[in-house]
Amino acid sequence: MPGFELPSNISSTTRATRLAAVQTEMNNGVYYNARLDPKNYLEGPLSMNPATRLRQMLARPGIIAPGICDGISARCALEAGFNCLYQSGAATTASRLGQPDVAIATLNDFVGAAQMVCSLDPTVPVIADADTGFGGPVNVARTVRQYAQAGVAGMHIEDQVQTKRCGHLVGKQVVSREEFVTRIRAAVIARDSITGDSDFVIIGRTDSAQILGIGEAITRLRLAADAGADVCFIEGVKTAELLESTVAALAPKPVLVNVISGGLTPSFTVQEAEALGAKIIIFSLVSCVAMVHAVRAAMHSLKKTGTDFTSAQGMDPKAFFEVMGLNDIIELDKQAGGSAFQVI
């Protein structure tokens, strides 16, 4: 597999074995890993490992993943009962940098956000945006390893050029089919080289539908699936009919759809998207757009009235900290024999 490298910190024997396995699985251009076959995840209790759990969820009824942008939004999503979270690239860029989603955030920004989010409940799968992989094949492989180490269950990698933009903006440009497939292969090889047989999920995303047409988008996603992508992500699909036909064309690979109110994709409900065949439905900006409205209103209210009484809506500091996990901390301290939080 010219152009691909396994991590330098594994032995030559392990390296040879894993490369041979990859080459066998890539025979005739189609990747297959018997260990990761969806039928292996159909039965049994959900795993405590988030990547394994995500594969189990993919083999069972659909997945709803609200977009989170920081610790507060992640805590609120968990409190609401969601069992999968989506770390949006746009939301992460906005919350960490106060910048728009136009290729400003770096790998370190994304990994830092993921480490925090994944630590809140390590059993809940987090799907994370990885943009274009932050460089060539070696950079893509590095991204996979760092995401997996951070506790991320799966990531999506796209076919935009390096100076990418939000998938629901116009003026996008995409790389060639060959370069896109190279990114997917690099991600798969990196995943398969992780010690301990990682279940990390690779999601191939194409932004080509708005530029080159839905036929090209489907072709690219088929190529991504052949290269080892576990899930196909069609960005900016504009009608229910196109989503349904895309799902049918890519079957049995699961399809992810990104719903953004006011974006290129219709504002499908979860039920509508599932009826059209989508397996994963993400709502990328649900938290950060709501946050803008709420914080704007609070700031204007404070400026106008000179108090935050109205915007607080009766939530005192202790109630706020309880949303952030205060009760878990009190219980842990108590179980350990501590007394720091007997009165709080």
Cite the residue boundaries of each domain of the chain with CATH code 3.20.20.60.
31-291
Q: How far is CA 193 from the centre of its chain?
A: 21
One-letter amino acid of 40: N
pLDDT at 13 over 80: no
Out of 53, 69, 131, 168, the active site residue is 131
Is there a catalytic annotation at residue 86? yes
Question: Is 158 tagged catalytic?
Answer: yes
Whether the per-residue pLDDT at 116 is higher than 70: the answer is yes
Beta bridge partners of 282: 65, 258
Q: What pLDDT, on a 0 to 100 scale, did the predictor assign at position 11? A: 55
Choosing from 70, 158, 207, 230, the catalytic residue is 158
Catalytic residue among 69, 84, 118, 166: 166
235 is an active site residue: yes
Positive or negative torsion for Cα 137, 223, 55, 22: negative
Contacts of residue 210, Cβ cutoff 8 Å, sequence gap at least 6: 170, 172, 236, 238, 264
**3-state DSSP helix/strand/coil % of the chain, to nearest 5:** 50, 10, 40
| 205 has catalytic annotation | yes
Q: If pLDDT is split at 50, 70 and 90, which confidence band does 62 have?
A: confident
Fold of 31-291: TIM Barrel (3.20.20)
The yes-or-no answer on residue 156 being catalytic is yes
| pLDDT on residue 2 | 41
- Out of 84, 118, 129, 232, pick the active-site residue: 129
Going by the DSSP 8-state scheme, the letter that residue 126 receives in this structure is: E
Q: Residue 208: pLDDT above 80?
A: yes
| CA–CA gap between residue 147 and residue 112 (Å, rounded) | 10
Determine which one of 75, 168, 183, 205 is catalytic.
Answer: 205
